[in-house]
Chain A
């Protein structure tokens, strides 16, 4: 087609759209603008004028256009403008200067978006349910949902129930029975309760400024966290932020610190790795370098025995649901409580296991939710001593000759030294059941009975919450030691043998792992190629412009307060590409880089989720941090510590797209095998943003436009809905359904593969000495010591009882031989914490997801197992034993104070037999921070129990958290606060 005809056609199309769609006519009315389309040499063109809603046009070059879109030549123009648009060609033209835009950035973005809107205005979302109700869909951290909306208001949120048009479910035949999952999604509490959070009394409804903050005068930084806020206009708020960005950039590279939490609302574009990633790359920010969080022990510890670096040191899980149901006789849940936080997709599978008569054993200081539901034998070792228990199991297997000798002989190395250690030949201490009894409190006879049953029966080891890592003891102070023992137990019983493997039925459903849909860690629209999994698939599948930050420094997440207050911080990398990646150091400041001048905080989780979080209060009140902008949806504990607050909206108030638990390549690959069905949700914009709030994406766009980077950020005016369409096109969904159908219905269930093409059972190839046959492209080819696909990622290619990669680093907490080291968070062994006689466990919360769903008017606050209301305030529940309660005159629902030298927190007591004396359990993470006195130096009534946890590394040469056990004291709360922080940071 000819250039002139296309442009003429474009004008006609604009007029038709304005005639048919009142919404488009309104859009055209928004601006009076003359836009020039032309060839670069002005040899041909057409101008289009919007004036008071009328569309005029003329051939040729206008003498005074407001903006211009120019092309290198006619061929480029024709390709660029002819539908259906070839995204790759458009990107190619844009980044190689074959096409360009002139004019004010803000206007260019508006006009480009208007042209796109012409093609999308007719799209329809949602299902008409009659009586004025539309059923939309969405995706949340707690699962995919139906959203019923009437008169612009959310009526209800429900799980998705599949219909006959949706793909079939899989069936597993085991021991004469057939098992098929329910034809619906299940929801975690924090997903089901979301309506109450949308209409929360704590929503931030307009941009806010701290009342005593003056960007041009007195900033009163010492009052952060104390002063009130006043509403300001978007213009004023953005002007302040942009002014501070300019001031910071003038100080040098990296003076803007972009600080996010680990999680966010669900969705591939709203996620912090996506829009915020693009924003921070274009801006050039010092980024937060995360630790492997809840995988700590696996990453820093277990990985050295078997590799699996791309899984953060955790084992494969493919096919384990089928193998477990068919073959297994016993399941050992070790620090393993999947029935919380993560939803209930796996719960039905465990009910099948129970129906099949598979025996269950639970090892956890707390009779956890899964144990309570499933029943079975409960062991409650003293927190931090699990490794002694595990070593005594090894002792029984070695002395009685009941380990998998063939596997140990052929697939492992270092067993001789391990055996000598266990038998006491190296240190004169046999790691016998009697020896462990003094450490763990578990009777020796029970350990013998368990060891014998374990070797006699085909046993699955469910280690950590997900059965194959994550959470539990692995994120405690002795997390590395524990996770290493889990790997070693697996090796001694020949993991990979039919019925013998890692898992608790939470992972490993027989889904289609070949069907591509991008996960959130693929970076969405970020364009970031190195710090996300973008390069693996998303970058090719959804052609978009690469972005790259020019800042080479990052701040280790654990030491953000130290970086600001002391001006330096260092740690080790969370580099999952290879085992040795974790030996690399990171540090702040980097040579030639600036110190932090402003913090762009995305979300408000730090006080609840970070250890020893009174440090954060100190940091925020220091003039070493001249400016803080916080972009949040709700007023949460940390929000008040900002100077300017930008109101983001919830996932119901903007468009997005995502698949539940699809993280993407490179970070727990195929994590969606946790689900019974792969469900891809259109995350419809169900209602208009409340108040003056905007989507994260749109807030960032406003800032970018003020820096003339709006067109770059939006890649020429893409809206969130446009990005959703691009993600749809990039995925295999586009081969099976149409965008129109998907957008309207709102979800797609990926059909399961036929039985014969299901993924093989994880680790079976290794057990049988074959080449790797599981569908993950890891380890990277260079990490095989022998031929590609042969053996593990260790230097020997074998399972290493003595981890030789740990020879590379002199870390006293991680010796190559995983010898038993008693926990220092033990009242009898920690002189520094003398007087703190109780061990506090701070596991993941059951009902909220980190701080998502906690407080701020969420209905979860009414769950008396989570919070108890006393005098109008909701206090976090701490679980304590009857004996400890009696000693202190405490009864259930009494307010109690938990404290140590780092912090002091008031909770509500729940007295129970579910913990042993000496142990208190209170979950992280609180969204509320309510200091009784001076912030940072008084008792918190909000429930930030992480204030009590140490911020030190688990072991020296790591960058690791260890929040799961710390020493505290407890008393009935008197209501009078005299606590003061013992020492400065």
Chain B
């Protein structure tokens, strides 16, 4: 099997510093790379973009970020609509939209279920992140998103597909929207930070008439009587149970600390993470 490029993106490491976004603009605005990409317009295109996800409410709030770009799919929807050989899949897995042959083919933009292809109004061509194929062909060992990222969000790997599958299994990687069945070559780590819900709360207890944070309280989350997860409160009495499916419905929450406890709470997980507020043990 031949080696192909893959990109692993770790959501937990993304600081929203935007260096990947800016490096891609730096590379493509004002620069034509014949055979790879025509120059990017001055404004509006985000070939590499960053998606936001806020979870929870004060004081348990997360602000999470995820770089998104062309997934260089192996079964790419864009290729299916491209005419005149406008899109090629290189032997190394990289997809190139030919800046000449793709002229006028707006269908390529519409075909991408990820919205990763941008329409260049002036040049009348579809454009996307090219994995810096022009640089890799020139001897670079990694794309600029990886080079410029100060927090090592990105890991590009040129390996065979079997090895990539092994890494995927081993590290619990996911692709975006697998239901599109387009076989992306961009994989995500810690994707739950963008896609899952958590349930959190602050547990307090009365000690000698003074309200204190309840450290070490046991929190058990059940669904239909079966334990789903458990957590122990920290020094501030806080707990967070993560990786719950959005819209996964009703749960029962038990909180106890020694002999102190609360009546079982009904918790309903909808679209967003939940902060249950102050939970007083008695």
Interface residues of chain A, those whose CB is within 8 Å of chain B, are 131, 153, 155-159, 161, 182, 184, 186-187, 189, 192-193, 195-196, 199, 339, 343-345, 347-348, 351, 367, 369, 372-373, 375, 377-380, 443-446, 448-450, 452-453, 847, 857, 859-863, 865, 869, 912-914, 916
Contact = CB atoms under 8 A, between A and B. Distances in A.
A914 B21 contact: no
Interface in B1-34: 13-19, 21-23, 25-27, 29-31
A157 B61 contact: no
A446 B19 CA distance: 37
Q: Which of B16, B64, B210 has most A Cβ within 10 Å?
A: B16
Nearest to A442: B59
A372 B17 CA distance: 12
Given A372-B62, A916-B58, A445 B15 contact: no
Given A367-B63, A865-B16, A192 B22 contact: yes
A325 to B, nearest CB: 17
B18 A189 contact: yes
Interface of B: 13-19, 21-23, 25-27, 29-31, 42-44, 46, 54, 56-64, 138, 144, 147-148, 150-152, 204, 210-213, 215, 234-238
B26 A196 contact: yes
A158 B14 CA distance: 19
28 contacts: A161-B147, A184-B147, A193-B22, A196-B25, A339-B17, A344-B17, A347-B15, A367-B61, A367-B63, A369-B16, A377-B234, A377-B238, A378-B61, A380-B58, A445-B213, A446-B236, A449-B215, A449-B237, A859-B22, A861-B43, A862-B21, A862-B46, A863-B21, A912-B54, A913-B57, A913-B58, A914-B61, A914-B63
Contacts, number: 133
Nearest first, the 7 closest Cβ-Cβ pairs linking A and B are: A344-B150, A186-B150, A372-B63, A449-B213, A859-B25, A373-B15, A192-B22
A565 B203 CA distance: 59
Q: Which of B29, B30, B150, B236 has most A Cβ within 10 Å?
A: B150
Contacts of A193: 22, 25-26
Given A377-B238, A865-B16, A913-B54, A445 B204 contact: yes
A249 to B, nearest CB: 45
A862 B58 CA distance: 29
A155 B26 CA distance: 8
A448 B215 CA distance: 12
A367 B138 CA distance: 42
Contact of A187 (B57, B138, B148, B210): B148
Contacts of B235: 449, 452-453
A322 B257 CA distance: 38
Contacts of B54: 912-914
B26 A339 contact: no
Contacts of B238: 377
Contacts of A859: 22, 25-26, 29
B31 A156 contact: yes
B22 A373 contact: no
A379 B59 contact: yes
Contacts of B212: 445, 448-449
B151 A351 contact: yes
B23 A375 contact: no
B237 A192 contact: no
Contacts of B64: 372
Nearest to A370: B15
Nearest to B205: A445
A379 B23 CA distance: 34
Nearest to A330: B235
Contact of A860 (B22, B23, B44): B22
A916 B27 CA distance: 39
A861 B62 CA distance: 25
Given A345-B150, A444-B211, A914-B63, 13 more contacts: A156-B27, A158-B144, A159-B147, A343-B150, A372-B63, A377-B236, A377-B238, A379-B59, A449-B215, A859-B29, A869-B43, A913-B61, A916-B58
A78 to B, nearest CB: 52
B25 A380 contact: no
Contact of B151 (A155, A156, A347, A448): A347
A369 B17 CA distance: 9
A158 B147 contact: yes
Contacts of B26: 156-157, 192-193, 195-196, 859
B200 to A, nearest CB: 12
A863 B144 CA distance: 18
B211 A199 contact: no
Nearest to A378: B59
A192 B148 contact: yes
Contacts of B213: 445-446, 448-449
A921 to B, nearest CB: 13
A344 B22 contact: no
Nearest to A861: B43
Nearest to B65: A372
Contacts of B204: 445
Contact of A348 (B31, B144, B151, B234): B151
Contact of A159 (B17, B148, B234): B148
Nearest to A847: B18
Contacts of A373: 14-15, 151
A452 to B, nearest CB: 8
A893 to B, nearest CB: 13
A137 B221 CA distance: 57
Contacts of A182: 152
A349 B63 CA distance: 21
Contacts of B60: 378
A847 B62 CA distance: 20
Nearest to B27: A156
A43 B31 CA distance: 63
Contacts of B22: 189, 192-193, 859-860, 863
B210 to A, nearest CB: 8
Given A158-B144, A344-B15, A344-B17, A857 B150 contact: no
Contacts of A369: 15-16
Nearest to A380: B58
Contacts of A449: 212-213, 215, 235-237
A131 B54 CA distance: 46
Contacts of B25: 193, 196, 859, 862
Contacts of A445: 204, 210-213, 237
Contacts of B16: 369, 372, 865
B234 to A, nearest CB: 8
A861 B44 CA distance: 10
